[in-house]
Amino acid sequence: MLYSSKAHQVVLIVTCWLSGIATCLLFLQYSQSNFQSLVFPSKQGKTLSEISLDDIPKEVTTPAVQKDKPILLLWVWPENYRFDLSDCQTYYNIDGCRIIDDRNLYNQADAVLIFHKSISWDLSNLPPSPRPAFQRWIWFHVESPTNTHRIPGLENLFNLTLSYRRDADISVRYPLTVSKTPIKGFEIPKKDKLVCWFVSNTNPSTGTGTRMKFYEEFKKHINIDIFGNMAGNHLKDEEYFPTMSSCKFYLSFENSIHKDYITEKFNGPVSVGTVPVVLGPPRENYEQFAPHNSFIHVNDFASPLDLANYLLQLDKDDEAYSRYFDWRKHVNATRHLNNLKQEFVTYICHACEYIGVHKEYKEAHDIYKWYFS
């Protein structure tokens, strides 16, 4: 039945205001244009699909989210880097959850993603308690233990962990992808530099002492091209990977040494056709993520001098150097994102993918004992 008279419209408008949004939307299906002209005079010409909650008077609506997918509430934007909440579907084809950042919908969220570095020391900016019984809190932290503040009181608050660690509930890494068939077409890029290092952080309080001590001795025996704050030679984003690929070897020196802490410093060079020289956890840990012949580990040499001599020898032996790329016949490397905002997008999308698949409830006890072990 269609309503056209003003009297009928007024009656139904009053009904809407008394009974709430559900009745309004039901009537909207029958008399969309007339209803809009009365209740939404500034929204005339919109279709039903274009009407949003913002168009409806605040006093007649209660925030609601469709529960067709699990809801992931982003409690704080990490480092205040913001992005379009549809990016997970746009760029990664991840559509297993609905990401929101509206804290008014806290009680409807299936999971809440909480960025560790944003938590106040007194915990005053955490979500309110008691939390809904079905809700899971995700501890979101990708820094190494050396660079982690142990905020008291967090040990037993979380259900899930998101970290670089392999044994995290949601492990976020830049994977090497194994191919079942040989990969054709890879060629070693042209090289005009021997050893390169992109480095900005030289602060010993962040754990950089070990790598700086090694570098100071190493540079006495071989030429190293330095880029970054340490050299006052910043690269533009578009120069980053081309410059890295022009180096035969790249110093993939982590700022601190911990289990599984193998960052973009490793993935970057292997993805662009450069051999990483790694300083970090033991070789066995690297081999859990990458082929044993895709990198050179400083621990395999008695001294920085011995390592320098080996690299100089490889520089003169093209055949021996090329063997460090044999793995490319069967494995692809995913280029890391040289942009912190994009990295956070990737991490959050991983969390969305996880809660879309894993519906079970669990608890993470004493995350510090786990993380600092």
Average pLDDT over residues 269-289: 95
Residue 56 has pLDDT above 60, yes or no: no
Q: Which of 150, 147, 148, 143 is nearest to 165 (CA)?
A: 143
DSSP 39-101: H-GGGTT--GGG--GGGS-GGG-------SS-EEEE-S-GGG----TTHHHHHH---SSEEE-
Residue 12 has pLDDT above 80, yes or no: no
175 Cβ contact partners less than 8 Å away, ≥ 6 residues apart: 289, 334
d(CA 40, CA 32): 11
109 Cβ contact partners less than 8 Å away, ≥ 6 residues apart: 71, 72, 73, 100, 132, 135
Write down all domains in the chain, each with its CATH number in brackets. Answer: 6-60 (no CATH), 67-174+336-373 (3.40.50), 183-333 (3.40.50.11660)
User: For 254-263, what is each residue's pLDDT tens digit?
Assistant: 999 999 999 8
Residue 306 has pLDDT above 80, yes or no: yes
Residue the block writes with tokens 């989210």: 65
Q: Which of 154, 187, 188 is nearest to 371 (CA)?
A: 154
d(CA 317, CA 127): 59
User: For 337-373, what is each residue's pLDDT tens digit?
Assistant: 667 788 899 999 999 999 999 999 999 999 999 999 8
In contact, 336 and 271? CB cutoff 8 Å? yes
Q: Mean pLDDT check: name the lowest of 142-146, 176-180, 269-273.
A: 176-180
Tell me the two tokens of residue 143.
């820094």
Average pLDDT of the chain to the nearest whole number: 82
Look at residue 204 in the predicted model and tell me its pLDDT: 67
Look at residue 73 in the predicted model and tell me its pLDDT: 98
Look at residue 207 in the predicted model and tell me its pLDDT: 62
Average pLDDT over residues 195-202: 87
More confident residue, 68 or 59: 68
Reported confidence tier of residue 235, pLDDT bands at 50, 70, 90: confident
Tell me the two tokens of residue 67.
């529960």
Q: What is the pTM of this model?
A: 0.75
Residue 125 CA, chain-centre distance (Å), reads 22
Reported confidence tier of residue 302, pLDDT bands at 50, 70, 90: very high
Average pLDDT over residues 209-223: 93
Residue 315 has pLDDT above 80, yes or no: yes
Residue 94 has pLDDT above 60, yes or no: yes
Residue the block writes with tokens 């292997």: 270
Of the listed 50, 59, 79, 143, which one is catalytic?
143
Partner residues linked to 162 by β-bridges: 140, 170
Look at residue 63 in the predicted model and tell me its pLDDT: 46
User: For 218-227, what is each residue's pLDDT tens digit?
Assistant: 999 999 999 9
- 264 as an active site residue: the answer is no
Task: Give the N- to C-terminal CA distance of the chain in Å, as an integer.
Answer: 69
Average pLDDT over residues 192-201: 92
User: For 102-111, what is each residue's pLDDT tens digit?
Assistant: 999 999 999 9
Helices 6-19 and 32-39: angle between axes, nearest 10 degrees: 70
d(CA 59, CA 17): 9
| Residue 100 backbone dihedrals phi, psi, to 5 degrees | -135, 165
More confident residue, 240 or 25: 240
C-beta pairs of 231-235 under 8 Å, 24+ apart in sequence: 231/199, 235/198
330 Cβ contact partners less than 8 Å away, ≥ 6 residues apart: 178, 179, 182, 183
User: For 103-135, what is each residue's pLDDT tens digit?
Assistant: 999 999 999 999 999 999 999 999 998 999 999
Look at residue 194 in the predicted model and tell me its pLDDT: 98
d(CA 360, CA 70): 12
Look at residue 179 in the predicted model and tell me its pLDDT: 65
Look at residue 44 in the predicted model and tell me its pLDDT: 36
Residue 22 has pLDDT above 60, yes or no: no
Average pLDDT over residues 177-199: 86
d(CA 21, CA 43): 17
